[in-house]
Amino acid sequence: MKKRKLKIISLILISLLLFSLILYLSWGSFKISPLDIIKTILGEGTKLQKSALLNIRVPRLLVGISVGIALSTAGALLQTITKNELADSGIVGINAGAAVAAVVFISLKTADYYSELGNISIYVLPFMAIIGAGISAAVIYFLSGRNRIRPQRLLLIGLGINAGLNAFITFFTFRGGVSDYNRVLVWISGSLWGSGWSYAKIITPIVVLMFILVHINYKKLDVLNLSDEHAVCLGLNLNKERKKFLTYAVILAGTATAFAGNVSLIGLISPHIAKKLVGPYHKNFLVISAVISTIIILIADAVSRNLFSPIEIPVGITISILGVPYFIYLMIKEK
């Protein structure tokens, strides 16, 4: 019964994934038919198709997928660590920490906000963002009582930190000029604008590696779902593992935020849907959650690019518009 259900769900998700991939690559101000996509990838497309697909859409696709997987996995980790389904790196201020670090770093580095980042900056940026995310995670961790994480307290402290950091970003935008404001806006709302190969080359390997690292720990994550006392009895070094998984979440959320800003809700919704579909076993639900986040971010970004073309809206806003009603529906349905 259960295995069959899993098969059906996987089949549906795979077809949705294919649909979103084709939609993402073909829909745009320059349309490319699905058949031409395959042709171009095999090296037979026209010059225009090649440049649109290989230089613009594919790298952005990779960055988008990486961002989605990073945030949904970070969200899943935080939900397990805190035993709270509302935890998410955006809500508890980890993303905001990364965004502050990124904004400060960029404004110190360059005054030209519209250009892509320089070569060295691109390599340094994720590290800065991870450090920023790490600092805010550490503050939240220590304030919410180190050895005994109290989920309610962690969530409230995180909310506070998040508000404070966002205030800082807003302050920054007022201090700067119009160009500052535009660039910073990307960090506040989350956007894949300007994602090229230079971004994809860095974020994709980091996220792939981190996802594998998280996934091989699925048994420990399952045990963390039991009561704290129970987990200790089963021989889990609770504090060590918690710190380890929090660090993983920080690296994932920090990397994603460095390149795409504070994309909200996806880290909350994807694990939520995945758990509803396949249950709370991490082995399955981490993968399903990654697939769901990919589908969501691809469709949302395709809409962001094209709906009001030539004006592009940040993908974070589209996700929020699509995600909030679903989220409220979940809350109402919850007993």
Partner 1 sequence: MEAISVKNLSVAYEDNLIIDNMNLSIPKGEISIIIGANGCGKSTLLKTIGRIIKPKNGEIFINDKNIKKLKEKHIATQVAFLPQGPICPNGITVKEVVSYGRFPHQKMIGGLNSHDKEIIEWAIEETGLKDFADREIENLSGGQRQRAWIAMTLAQETDIIMLDEPTTYLDMSYQLEVLEVLEKLNKKKNITVVIVLHELNNACRFASNIIGLKKGKIICKGVPRDVITEENLREIYGIDVKLQLSENGEYPICVEYELIRG
Q: Which residues bind partner 1 (CB under 8 A)?
A: 1-2, 216-217, 219, 222-223, 225-227, 229-230, 232-237, 275, 279-281
Instruction: Give the C-alpha separation, 330 to 9, whole Å.
Output: 19
The smaller minimum CB distance to partner 1, of residues 39 and 220, is found at 220
For the bound state, the minimum distance from the C-beta of residue 144 to partner 1, rounded and expressed in Å, comes to: 19
For the bound state, the minimum distance from the C-beta of residue 277 to partner 1, rounded and expressed in Å, comes to: 10
Instruction: Give the single-character DSSP code of 44.
Output: -
Instruction: Give the C-alpha separation, 95 to 251, whole Å.
Output: 10
Instruction: Give the single-character DSSP code of 75.
Output: H
Helix and strand numbers (H, E) in the chain are 15, 0
Closest CA to 315 of 331, 333, 302: 302
For the bound state, the minimum distance from the C-beta of residue 73 to partner 1, rounded and expressed in Å, comes to: 17
CB atoms within 10 A of CB 98: 34
DSSP letters, 271-329, are HHHHHHHH-S-HHHHHHHHHHHHHHHHHHHHHHHHHTTTTS---HHHHHHHHHHHHHHH
The smaller minimum CB distance to partner 1, of residues 106 and 288, is found at 288
* Cβ contact 278:285 at 8 Å: yes
For the bound state, the minimum distance from the C-beta of residue 284 to partner 1, rounded and expressed in Å, comes to: 11
The smaller minimum CB distance to partner 1, of residues 75 and 316, is found at 75
* Cβ contact 319:265 at 8 Å: yes
Instruction: Give the C-alpha separation, 204 to 209, whole Å.
Output: 9
The smaller minimum CB distance to partner 1, of residues 5 and 175, is found at 5
For the bound state, the minimum distance from the C-beta of residue 213 to partner 1, rounded and expressed in Å, comes to: 12
Residue 58 φ/ψ, nearest 5 degrees:
-65, -50
For the bound state, the minimum distance from the C-beta of residue 269 to partner 1, rounded and expressed in Å, comes to: 17
* Cβ contact 292:72 at 8 Å: yes
The smaller minimum CB distance to partner 1, of residues 47 and 240, is found at 240
The smaller minimum CB distance to partner 1, of residues 43 and 229, is found at 229
Instruction: Give the C-alpha separation, 313 to 308, whole Å.
Output: 8
Residue 88 φ/ψ, nearest 5 degrees:
-165, 145
For the bound state, the minimum distance from the C-beta of residue 173 to partner 1, rounded and expressed in Å, comes to: 41
* Cβ contact 194:183 at 8 Å: no
The smaller minimum CB distance to partner 1, of residues 115 and 227, is found at 227
For the bound state, the minimum distance from the C-beta of residue 271 to partner 1, rounded and expressed in Å, comes to: 12
